Amino acid sequence: MGRLESAHGTLETPALLPVVNPRFEAITPRELHDRFRFQAIITNSYIIRNDARMKGEALEKGLHGMLDFPGVIMTDSGTFQSHMYGEVEVRNDEIVPFQRQIGSDIGTVLDIFTEPEWGYQRTAEAVDVTLERTREAATLKGNMMLAGVVQGSVFPDLRERCAAEMRDIAVDVHPIGGVVPLMESYRYADLVDIIIAAKKGLSPDRPVHLFGAGHPMLFSLAVLLGCDMFDSALYAKFARDDRYISTDGTLHLADMKVLDCECPICSATDIESLKALKPGERWPLLARHNLYVSKREMDRVKRAIVEGDIWELTERRCRSHPMLLDGLRRLKAHKGFLERYEPLSRDHAFFYTGPESLDRPSVHRYMMRTKERYRMPGTEVMVVFEHGEKPYSRHWAEHMRRVSAVADSHFFVMSEFGPVPIELDEIYPIAQSLFPENRDRDTIEHIREAMEDLAHRQEYGMSCMYDEESTVDMLSALSKPGTGFDLDQAKIAAVADYQFGTGAAEALLNGKVELVKSRNTDKIRNVIVDGEHVVSMRADDGFFTLRPPGAKRLLAGMEAPKLRVVVQDDSVPFNREGKNVMCQFVIDCDPEIGPMDEVMVVNSQDELIAIGRALLVREEMMALKKGLAVKVREGVK
């Protein structure tokens, strides 16, 4: 979640900005603020400027006085009108200063609306004009924040180029424009490609606004992809058509026989009374319902961000319409990009909702890291999994007979993620996941591919299965002295490499290793090497929390910039005291660090200053001028 500061207060994101039509107000801006608690609205400067009376009033009283709205007011420029009516009678160098004059908090460039039916060349030219006008607007904006619109229609490369070229222009907010026709025709898969292309190009310190997105069924997916701001005229537009918004879709009042909403409007009436009203009395009520349900969904999305189940929520919401499900399925193509921003672990358990869940970035990360960072101690593979009828049972049973007598073998726990090395079976999302027992074909195929992949990586790919009880017996056997395999030692080494990178185990654990275990659960709590407490193992996600002696070992054993956040000298004394690292003091950072990763804060001489947890990725730390980069746990003096 984010905070956008303006002369009229702070806008917490993700946020929905109701569209206020200055010509006729469905709901007064004052009510939007006081009753609905919207912190920001959007209105249209082009419409105001074209009406002599409104223009005069806006110039005289200012936009906030004219509309009687004390919060953030964003203005659009007329671009959408050019999409609707072919052209507009205003120039960029007129509408941008006008927005500034009437006191808009966020004014918008008069960009070119790139229509989905345009060819590549025409779109590319429109992008160039948009960029040109944005450069011009940046010189005209004064103290007003400026919204620089990313155009480029359905061409991801044009979207990304447009976004990237905006980096050097003094813009404050980035709407992604020209997407209304795509949303109107349910082209959600294209929308996903477009948002991701824009995000790749944009500087991460500027909020992203999905222009014209106002249907709550889309909010979760769009926020998941990094959209911060939304605006909607739908609440009023649909209301005038007797259309009733729900998170499952939109209904026509005439088709409805039951009201299933407890918003203040619906709980004060019933469907028959609503239908019996005159249209002029009904539509303001429907508009309010539509706003309540939209706001509720945005609040639900915020809760999902905080509670760690935004993937689960998105996967559920995208089942409101098959083409929204297509949007969800398109994420698979972008899982590498999404993985960069995926936190190491989330508070919410990994709930499987369908085949798409296995394409989540946390699964991708697990598959990649076990492939790249995990090394098996033995030479034979032994797959241990729960008893039961599996489609591949016979196949693996044959292998089992062949390896059952082999001493130098190794154990895997069967899971829907694939075979999990027994050393890693307590890390997120493995141990914090819940799947239905009845597997679909995509899950079965995922498991089969993961097993084959593992077998191919081993010289002697072998497999074996046991029921759960036998697993327990074998685990005890593994830990017995004399078998040459100590599960606890193997576990801390495997988790160190998985979490910090190949080589971390060697750096961290070189010496006499002692383990402090929980009395209740017998789980590893603290790892002591040569008498120093180097790391603690967290019960909730199975990963390590770094301690200064551990950080020093990693610093010595892992080359820069690995695991480091480098801070300016100004910041050093504060961080040594245990104060958090602010973005503006970050000089550099390991490009592989992700949110919630344990990091070492160092000065420009690569000396350890503090340890803590990263909240952002490198690009964000470098771009943001405010806010926390690293939550410091302990300063090092």
Smaller CB separation from its own copies, 359 or 620: 359
State the minimum distance, in angstroms, from the CB of residue 98 to its own copies: 37
Smaller CB separation from its own copies, 316 or 533: 316
Smaller CB separation from its own copies, 349 or 513: 349
Start-to-end CA distance of the chain, whole Å, equals 33
Contact region with its own copies (CB under 8 A), list: 14-22, 428-436, 565-573, 612-620: 428-436
Question: What is each CA distance from 9 to 69, 299, 461, in whole angstroms?
Answer: 12, 19, 62
In the three-class reduction of DSSP (H, G, I as helix; E, B as strand; rest coil), residue 567 is classed as strand
Contact map string, positions 139 to 178, toward its own copies, x by CB under 8 A = ----------------------------------------
- Please give the structure tokens belonging to residue 295: 């706001």
316 binds its own copies per the rule CB under 8 A: yes
State the minimum distance, in angstroms, from the CB of residue 243 to its own copies: 14
State the minimum distance, in angstroms, from the CB of residue 75 to its own copies: 28
Contact residue for its own copies among 44, 45, 232, 353 (CB under 8 A): 353
Smaller CB separation from its own copies, 296 or 457: 296
State the minimum distance, in angstroms, from the CB of residue 196 to its own copies: 16
- Please give the structure tokens belonging to residue 463: 């497999």
Sequential DSSP letters for 3-22: EEEETTEEEEESEEEEEE-S
Q: What whole-number distance in Å separates Cα of residue 83 and Cα of residue 68?
A: 29
Smaller CB separation from its own copies, 281 or 449: 449
538 binds its own copies per the rule CB under 8 A: no
Contact residue for its own copies among 170, 434, 516, 539 (CB under 8 A): 434
Smaller CB separation from its own copies, 437 or 469: 437
State the minimum distance, in angstroms, from the CB of residue 324 to its own copies: 9
Contact residue for its own copies among 83, 330, 491, 552 (CB under 8 A): 330
Q: How many CA atoms lie within 13 A of 281 on its CB side?
A: 6
**Nearest 5 degrees, angle CA 379-CA 471-CA 425?**
70
For residue 597, indicate whether it is catalytic. no
258 binds its own copies per the rule CB under 8 A: yes
- Please give the structure tokens belonging to residue 203: 């500087």
Q: Which helix (H) or strand (E) holds 94?
A: helix 92-101
Contact map string, positions 284 to 303, toward its own copies, x by CB under 8 A = --------xx-xxx-xx-xx
441 binds its own copies per the rule CB under 8 A: yes
State the minimum distance, in angstroms, from the CB of residue 347 to its own copies: 8
Q: What whole-number distance in Å separates Cα of residue 88 and Cα of residue 565?
A: 50
What HEC string does 479-510 produce?
HCCCCCCCHHHHHHHHHHHHHHCCCHHHHHHC
Smaller CB separation from its own copies, 298 or 599: 298
Q: What whole-number distance in Å separates Cα of residue 426 and Cα of residue 185?
A: 45
Evaluate whether 290 touches 263 at the Cβ level (below 8 Å). no
Contact residue for its own copies among 438, 476, 521, 605 (CB under 8 A): 438
Q: What whole-number distance in Å separates Cα of residue 57 and Cα of residue 519?
A: 73
Place of tokens 């469907």: 271
Smaller CB separation from its own copies, 52 or 268: 268
Q: What whole-number distance in Å separates Cα of residue 292 and Cα of residue 536?
A: 46
Of 584, 574, 576, which Cα lies nearest the Cα of 628?
A: 584
Contact map string, positions 452 to 491, toward its own copies, x by CB under 8 A = ----------------------------------------
Contact region with its own copies (CB under 8 A), list: 200-208, 350-358, 392-400, 621-629: 350-358
Contact map string, positions 561 to 600, toward its own copies, x by CB under 8 A = ----------------------------------------
Q: Which helix (H) or strand (E) holds 234?
A: helix 234-240
Contact residue for its own copies among 93, 128, 136, 326 (CB under 8 A): 326
Contact residue for its own copies among 319, 340, 533, 633 (CB under 8 A): 319
Window 189-208: residues binding its own copies (CB under 8 A): 189
245: which strand partners?
Answer: 250
437 binds its own copies per the rule CB under 8 A: yes
State the minimum distance, in angstroms, from the CB of residue 254 to its own copies: 12
Smaller CB separation from its own copies, 352 or 485: 352
Burial class (CB in 10 A: 0-12, 13-18, 19+), 296: middle
Q: How many residues bind its own copies (CB under 8 A)?
A: 52
Q: What whole-number distance in Å separates Cα of residue 150 and Cα of residue 143?
A: 22
Smaller CB separation from its own copies, 31 or 94: 31
Burial class (CB in 10 A: 0-12, 13-18, 19+), 17: buried
The helices-and-strands tally (H runs, E runs) of the chain is 25, 27
In the three-class reduction of DSSP (H, G, I as helix; E, B as strand; rest coil), residue 113 is classed as coil
388 binds its own copies per the rule CB under 8 A: no
Window 212-251: residues binding its own copies (CB under 8 A): 248, 251
Contact region with its own copies (CB under 8 A), list: 321-329, 398-406, 501-509, 548-556: 321-329
Burial class (CB in 10 A: 0-12, 13-18, 19+), 61: middle
Q: What whole-number distance in Å separates Cα of residue 559 and Cα of residue 502?
A: 12
Evaluate whether 147 touches 108 at the Cβ level (below 8 Å). yes
Smaller CB separation from its own copies, 300 or 457: 300
Q: How many CA atoms lie within 13 A of 396 on its CB side?
A: 24
Q: Which helix (H) or strand (E) holds 434?
A: strand 433-434
Contact residue for its own copies among 56, 142, 388, 436 (CB under 8 A): 436
Residue 173 is classified by DSSP as B
State the minimum distance, in angstroms, from the CB of residue 154 to its own copies: 15
Contact residue for its own copies among 129, 323, 406, 628 (CB under 8 A): 323
Evaluate whether 503 touches 536 at the Cβ level (below 8 Å). no
Amino acid present at 329: R
Q: Which of 34, 51, 68, 76 is an active site residue?
A: 76
State the minimum distance, in angstroms, from the CB of residue 296 to its own copies: 5
Residues classed as catalytic = 76
What are the residues binding its own copies (CB under 8 A)? 189, 248, 251, 255-264, 267, 292-293, 295-297, 299-300, 302-303, 306-307, 312-313, 315-316, 319-323, 325-326, 329-330, 351-355, 434-438, 440-442, 445
